[in-house]
């Protein structure tokens, strides 16, 4: 069980730091310009914490742990990226199909971001866990 918790903690740390930089600094204007009319003045922290806890568990279960078992860093990257692609595409394409004014540009950028972020988090979680277990 120690490996699972360590993999979760390391993957979560990387995911949260990178996503914070993206959302708070790099892409803030992009989302505000296109979705500002939908954004809350302050995020729902409980919902955000719940999302991050569940989503990181998905990355760990479907990418980080299988990669640790096989010993393959490239597996962590690819499986994490695929998990991110499918999860973010499901969210964004559902919004694009059902919400007025959900921009295609947001779909494209967000799906690309989720793919890259999830792959990097799985890869970093893989390496950090192996390093800390050594």
| pLDDT score at 60 | 98
DSSP 44: -
Interval 41-80: pLDDT, tens: 999 999 999 999 999 999 999 999 999 999 999 999 999 9
**Alpha-carbon gap, residue 26 to 121, rounded angstroms:** 18
Neighbours of 105 (CB within 10 A): 11
For residue 80, the number of C-alpha atoms closer than 13 Å in the C-beta half-sphere is 30
Interval 103-115: pLDDT, tens: 999 999 999 999 9
Average pLDDT, the chain: 96
Q: What pTM was estimated for this model as a whole?
A: 0.95
| pLDDT score at 9 | 97
């Amino acid at each position: 069980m120690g490996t699972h918790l360590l993999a979760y903690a390391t993957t979560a740390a990387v995911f949260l730091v990178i996503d914070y930089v993206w959302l708070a600094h790099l892409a803030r204007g992009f989302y505000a310009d296109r979705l500002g009319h939908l954004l809350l003045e302050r995020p729902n922290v409980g919902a955000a914490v719940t999302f991050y806890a569940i989503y990181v568990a998905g990355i760990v279960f479907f990418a980080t742990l299988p990669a640790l078992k096989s010993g393959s860093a490239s597996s962590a990257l690819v499986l994490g990226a695929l998990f991110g692609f499918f999860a973010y595409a499901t969210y964004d394409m559902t919004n694009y199909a059902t919400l007025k004014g959900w921009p295609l540009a947001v779909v494209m950028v967000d799906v690309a971001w989720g793919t890259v972020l999830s792959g990097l988090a799985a890869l970093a979680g893989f390496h950090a866990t192996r390093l800390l277990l050594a």
